[in-house]
Structure 1
């Protein structure tokens, strides 16, 4: 079905749960929260998908996306444990992990459009206007989402600063 090999199914089904986990964390917290149960599950499923891409990739760019995803996951999950970065660490963590969600969705949308419906896919050419438009839409969503996340983090930082001033003055 859909021309997917057995290892391709491991790759697809292994990474698929990361999508609703990311959506849940974006909706609930405005970002991917690495030190939460959903965040740990997201890491596991993303690592399954990113590691197995090297076994199923047909396009050279897939290797780059897989390697970038692994690097961003490691950086995103590790940076919060580094002391001395202050608020910059939270910003970097948010940016890195949001980029992993983008790198998950980019090939997901591409593969769906290239495989569905089975036997008569919506897209047969990587330069298809439908595919390029979907990919551009994801890029716009990334830019708007990151902007909103950074604004939200700045507001949280300001509120925390005001709150600590009020407590120390009181």
Structure 2
């Protein structure tokens, strides 16, 4: 019996460790434009999510949003809503949907689609001389999306 329990535990742990990552073209939204399931099968790291949101070369969320918890990040924007209390306003699935592709929830949003690889217009070489070639990678990886969602869920109203 003990061997069976150990074997079962190893199988469960092993299957969790090898959960398949959901690719950008495989993302499934529910009727409310939320993405209920993790893109990686793993929990996000809120500390890493905060870094991504405040880093110019990554998410750079503070360019458009004010986030009191990231008060050390310079030049916080006012284009998008203040994200204080985001963890109370939206579920983790709704936050994941917003970060993956905000236009699914808010048509006309200027927020970038951080985990999308097609269905949008990017400037061509005639405009920048540096435009990426197809296929284009998403702006953030699946795990980075999970890290950002983990951080956003910590932002609660006091």
Q: Name the TM tier (shorter chain).
A: under 0.3
Q: Would you tell me which structure has more helix in proportion to its own residues?
A: 1
TM-score, length of structure 2 as denominator length: 0.27
Higher-RCO chain (CA-CA 8 Å, sequence separation at least 6): 2
TM-score, length of structure 1 as denominator length: 0.26
